[in-house]
């Protein structure tokens, strides 16, 4: 009897269940916001990446609706064939203006921007140095490129330097890749030190600003602005799907880089252009980021308020180091993290357990929004402070 070639899938799922690594979707009803309806229950939302509360903003919604009315639902082809619209170019110019770069290129998602850019820039004779905590899209982009990859311990600048001294001369091109705000930890990359090493060893430096755009820096341009490196020779990647409340990704950098990617990035060339609605919504979001700094100011006030209350009332929970609106506290196991997530959920707080293989150690991840009210933050702290046996 031949064995069932698909039988292993069920066995594999069983193993995932046993490790408490199993995941499934949870349905949110209605519009996104500081509170949402989760499976029929209203909860305070500390689980979204919608930092500025723009995904439910009337102006983004009406821009998306108007673009759909005018240009239809789909772009109907790849950008180089029938899929290019004036709206796409406008959005690319708006991103370049926010980032103060010569040009920008929009992709269907941040994930595809990373895959496409890294695969286009690097090849077999090249070396990629990648932070161990980097986002999946950076790691898979490095694999796709065929370059040699060295993963260095998280934010360990000495390790980066050692690898460069030992290995740089054996390769043609070298690319250092890093998240700027680490998505599941909330800390920042050591951008000044990385840029110095990139200059010293003639390496390109790619920073993923997914969680920084709209959030970090005086004008919301991201960590590059926050560190005072606007205008430096960098490859900046980001998403339209977090603080910008839409869907899509981008690369921002020199005009030469962008022109090259239009000719070489497979995940841009061989895929359909962004939908008119997503494009118009992101364009409206960038305008709001630039014209309403008070949203960003309120976001940081909320972050400070939460940190201050946590320090006063929840002293026993171990917060991971964070310099962003992402705050995580570590738990001893995946099962403990799931229990904590459920406890919070029962108390009306939506803050998910993040477990391996997404992260090396299990945790609860809290993301703060500009549209959270003081009462939302106080409730979170009260719930965290009141717990007895759980967490
Ligand atoms: C979310 C995220 C991405 C992917 O962006 P999408 O637009 O959601 O595909 C890439 N990099 C980092 C660091 C992220 O957090």
Query: Measured from the CA of 240, which atom of ligand 1 is nearest?
Result: 7
* Stretch 332-345: mean pLDDT: 92
**Which pLDDT band holds residue 138 (cuts at 50, 70, 90)?**
very high
User: What whole-number percentage of the chain has pLDDT above 70?
Assistant: 99
Going by C-beta distance under 8 Å and a sequence separation of 6 or more, which residues neighbour residue 239? 109, 110, 113, 210, 213, 248, 249, 250
Evaluate if residue 86 carries a pLDDT over 90. Answer: yes
* Stretch 34-46: mean pLDDT: 96
Dist. CA 128 → ligand 1 center (Å): 19
Query: Measured from the CA of 183, which atom of ligand 1 is nearest?
Result: 15
Whole-model pTM?
A: 0.95
Amino acid 391: pLDDT: 52
**Which pLDDT band holds residue 315 (cuts at 50, 70, 90)?**
confident
* Stretch 67-90: mean pLDDT: 97
The residue ranges of every structural domain in the chain are 20-49+293-386, 58-291
Question: Any idea which of 173-187, 253-267, 307-321 has the lowest mean pLDDT?
Answer: 307-321
Query: Measured from the CA of 111, which atom of ligand 1 is nearest?
Result: 9
Task: State the DSSP string of 272-339.
Answer: BPPPHHHHHHHHHHHHHHHH-HHHHHHHHHHHHHHHHHHHHH-TTS-BPP-SSSEEEEE-SSHHHHHH
CA nearest neighbour of 233 among 176, 150, 299? 176
Evaluate if residue 39 carries a pLDDT over 70. Answer: yes
Going by C-beta distance under 8 Å and a sequence separation of 6 or more, which residues neighbour residue 332? 362
Q: Is the CB of 67 under 6 A from ligand 1?
A: no
Amino acid 372: pLDDT: 98
Give the model confidence (pLDDT) of 344-368 as tens digits. 999 999 999 998 888 888 999 999 9
Evaluate if residue 389 carries a pLDDT over 70. Answer: no
Dist. CA 241 → ligand 1 center (Å): 8
- Half-sphere exposure for 170 (CA within 13 Å, toward CB): 11
Dist. CA 213 → ligand 1 center (Å): 11
Distance CA 233, CA 246 (A): 27
What is the DSSP code (8-state) at residue 170?
A: G
Amino acid 318: pLDDT: 80
Q: Best of 135, 177, 240 to mutate for ligand 1, by most ligand atoms within 8 A of CB? A: 135
What is the DSSP code (8-state) at residue 188?
A: B
Question: Any idea which of 41-45, 131-135, 370-374, 381-385 has the lowest mean pLDDT?
Answer: 381-385
Amino acid 186: pLDDT: 97
Considering only the C-alpha atoms of the chain, give the largest distance between any 2 of them, rounded to a whole number of Å: 69
User: What is the average pLDDT score of the chain?
Assistant: 96
Dist. CA 267 → ligand 1 center (Å): 15
Amino acid 194: pLDDT: 98
Give the model confidence (pLDDT) of 103-124 as tens digits. 999 999 999 999 999 999 999 9
Q: Is the CB of 267 under 6 A from ligand 1?
A: no
Q: Which CATH number fits domain 20-49+293-386: 3.20.20.70, 3.90.1150.10, 1.10.1040.10, 3.40.50.720?
A: 3.90.1150.10
Give the model confidence (pLDDT) of 262-292 as tens digits. 999 999 999 999 999 999 999 999 999 999 9
* Stretch 44-55: mean pLDDT: 98
Q: Best of 210, 267, 359 to mutate for ligand 1, by most ligand atoms within 8 A of CB? A: 210
Q: Is the CB of 179 under 6 A from ligand 1?
A: yes
Residue range 58-291 forms a domain whose CATH class is: alpha beta
Structure tokens belonging to residue 379: 């409730």
């Amino acid at each position: 009897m031949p064995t069932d070639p698909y039988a292993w899938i069920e066995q594999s799922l069983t193993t995932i269940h046993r490790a408490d690594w199993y995941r499934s979707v949870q349905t949110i009803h209605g519009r996104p916001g500081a509170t949402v309806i989760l499976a029929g229950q209203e909860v305070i939302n500390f689980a979204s990446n919608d930092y500025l509360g723009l995904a439910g903003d009337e102006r983004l919604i009406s821009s998306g609706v108007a673009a759909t009315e005018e240009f239809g639902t789909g772009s109907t082809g790849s950008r180089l064939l029938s899929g290019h619209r004036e709206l796409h170019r406008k959005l690319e110019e708006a991103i370049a203006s926010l980032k103060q770069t010569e040009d920008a290129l929009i992709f269907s998602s941040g994930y595809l921007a990373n895959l496409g850019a890294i695969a286009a820039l690097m090849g077999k004779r090249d070396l990629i140095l990648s932070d161990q905590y980097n986002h999946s899209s950076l790691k898979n982009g490095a694999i796709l490129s065929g370059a040699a990859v060295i993963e260095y311990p998280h934010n360990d600048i000495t390790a980066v330097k050692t690898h460069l001294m030992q290995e740089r001369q054996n390769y043609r091109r070298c690319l250092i890749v890093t998240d700027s705000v680490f998505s599941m930890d909330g800390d920042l990359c050591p951008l000044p030190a990385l840029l110095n090493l990139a200059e010293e060893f003639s390496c390109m430096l790619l920073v993923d600003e997914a969680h920084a755009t709209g959030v970090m820096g005086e004008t919301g341009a991201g960590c590059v602005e926050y560190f005072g490196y606007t205008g430096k020779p960098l490859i900046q990647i980001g998403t339209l799907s977090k603080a910008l409340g839409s869907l899509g990704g981008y690369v921002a950098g020199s005009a030469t880089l962008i022109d090259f990617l239009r000719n070489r990035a497979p995940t841009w060339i061989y895929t359909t252009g962004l939908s008119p609605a997503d494009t118009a919504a992101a364009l409206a979001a960038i305008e709001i980021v630039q014209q309403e700094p008070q949203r960003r100011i309120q976001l940081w006030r909320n972050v400070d308020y939460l940190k201050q209350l946590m320090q006063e009332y929840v002293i026993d929970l171990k917060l991971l180091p964070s310099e962003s609106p992402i705050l995580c506290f570590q738990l001893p196991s995946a099962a403990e993290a799931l229990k904590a997530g459920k406890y919070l959920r029962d108390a009306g707080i939506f803050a998910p357990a993040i477990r391996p293989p997404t992260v090396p150690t299990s945790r609860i991840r809290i993301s703060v929004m500009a549209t959270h009210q003081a009462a939302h933050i106080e409730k979170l702290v009260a719930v965290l402070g009141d717990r007895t046996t759980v967490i």
